[in-house]
Structure 1
Amino acid sequence: MKTKKILASMLFIGLCLVSQAQSTKTQSKPESDPDNLAKEYFSQIMGVAVSATTNTKLYQFVYEWLGTPYRLGGDSKRGIDCSKFSFELYDKVFNTTLGYNSRNQYSQIKPVKKDDLKAGDLVFFKIRSKSITHVGVYIGDNKFAHASSSKGVMISNLGEAYWRRYYYDGGRLPDDNKSLTAEILNAEKSDKFN
């Protein structure tokens, strides 16, 4: 009987100490900053120093969308397809409007060699097709963000055999893209109504 009381007392004291340690830890921990979370996440997966991640807005956008399910024609966090993902990214991060599908987006870019890609450039793929079927946004270190039909918004490596096989081209928008963008959007809108 005495042993049970001693064990119960020790257990009670132990729980009090653990509870106090957790509340002290919680109080001293600063609130997490979403910008820092995105920087830390990308510095870990890309193996670069946090201070070297230059485009915080780009990484923050991708970080917030990771895991969003794929949905053909989708344009929200309930589901999104590859071209709408790049469209939304360019709209929110670069304040630039792209075409509504991967082929139209490709028509807007100035091609860039794979070795010269920079964060924010678009990468295009011809997956089991003669025409462009997929688009992603290059984020650096041979990695790109995209909405995969099997896994949703994710980060992949251009060096993986699958992506090497289907890679078509990469590029960036020229500085004089605004007039071209307006023409493409007007053409797409008129196609939708016809």
Structure 2
Amino acid sequence: MNTKKLVAGMLFIGLCLVSQAQTNNQTKSADPDNLAKEYFSQIMGVAVNATTNTKLYQFVYEWLGTPYRLGGDSKRGIDCSKFSLALYENVFNTTIGYNSRNQYTNVTPVRKNDLQAGDLVFFKIRSKSITHVGVYLGDDKFAHASSSKGVMVSNLNEAYWKRYYYNGGRPKLDEEHRIMTADISKNDKDNLN
């Protein structure tokens, strides 16, 4: 009789544990942040564990398909540097330079293998100067305003992008003002500390 009670008790405890585990899994997947990460992961082809900044992916998603327009800065048309500028202002509350070359002069270079979501990626397309910029998303994907297809997500390992890739960079920020520190003289640098 005691054996039956012991077996019944163990079955009851096991059933409770399984039920609790299923409830935890359902709660975890119903979490809005997890759902958003899973959604953006599927849309942009970035692994769920790489989608750390939901605001970044939401911004990119809202701009996907926006046509390219040189000098444009709205959803009617935008160029690559204005796209990265708008992204930084809206996602990171940071102002960066207005063109890709200026943006590059204000970053700390980052090796391709060390890129993190939100870093800038720069290209020299048929030029000795930087001509294109995008924002790294993770898993070798980056968002940018392509002159042929507008705002889109591309892969750094595609032959075209691999050929023209120049460098990655993380913006040098003046933490007090959250502005890129462009062309600061030595005296101004001393005043920032």
Q: TM-score of the superposition, structure 1-length normalised?
A: 0.71
Which residue of structure 2 lines up, in the alignment, with residue 46 of structure 1? 45
Which residue of structure 2 lines up, in the alignment, with residue 80 of structure 1? 78
1:168–1:141: structure 2 CA closer, same or farther, 3 Å change rule? same
Which residue of structure 2 lines up, in the alignment, with residue 103 of structure 1? 101
Q: Secondary structure, in 3 states, of the residue corresponding to 2:180?
A: helix
Aligned partners of 1:38 and 1:59 also within 8 Å: no
Equivalences, count = 151
Aligned partners of 2:123 and 2:167 also within 8 Å: yes
Aligned partners of 2:71 and 2:78 also within 8 Å: yes
Higher helix share: 1
Distance 2:58 2:178 in 1: 28
Aligned partners of 2:172 and 2:180 also within 8 Å: no
Report how far residue 181 of structure 1 moved. Answer: 2.9
1:65–1:38: structure 2 CA closer, same or farther, 3 Å change rule? farther
Distance 2:71 2:139 in 1: 29
1:39–1:134: structure 2 CA closer, same or farther, 3 Å change rule? same
State yes or no: 1:181 paired with 2:180.
Answer: yes
Q: One-letter code of the match for 2:171?
A: L
Distance 2:142 2:167 in 1: 13
Runs of 4+ with >2 A deviation: 34-42, 45-49, 174-184
User: RMSD of the alignment, in Å?
Assistant: 2.4
Moved more, 162-171 or 51-60: 51-60
Q: TM-score of the superposition, structure 2-length normalised?
A: 0.71
Distance 1:179 1:64 in 2: 24
Distance 2:145 2:46 in 1: 22
Equivalent residues in 2 for 1:118-133, closer than 5 Å: 118-133=116-131
Aligned partners of 2:50 and 2:138 also within 8 Å: no
Q: One-letter code of the match for 2:75?
A: K
Which residue of structure 2 lines up, in the alignment, with residue 13 of structure 1? none
Give a deviation string over 1:79-102, Cα, whole Å, max 9, x none. Answer: 000000000000000011011100
Give a deviation string over 1:20-55, Cα, whole Å, max 9, x none. Answer: xxxxxxxxxxxxxx9777534431142523x66210
Distance 1:176 1:142 in 2: 28
Distance 1:100 1:72 in 2: 12
Q: Secondary structure, in 3 states, of the residue corresponding to 1:170?
A: strand
Report how far residue 158 of structure 1 moved. Answer: 0.2
1:55–1:74: structure 2 CA closer, same or farther, 3 Å change rule? same
Q: Secondary structure, in 3 states, of the residue corresponding to 1:90?
A: helix
1:101–1:48: structure 2 CA closer, same or farther, 3 Å change rule? same
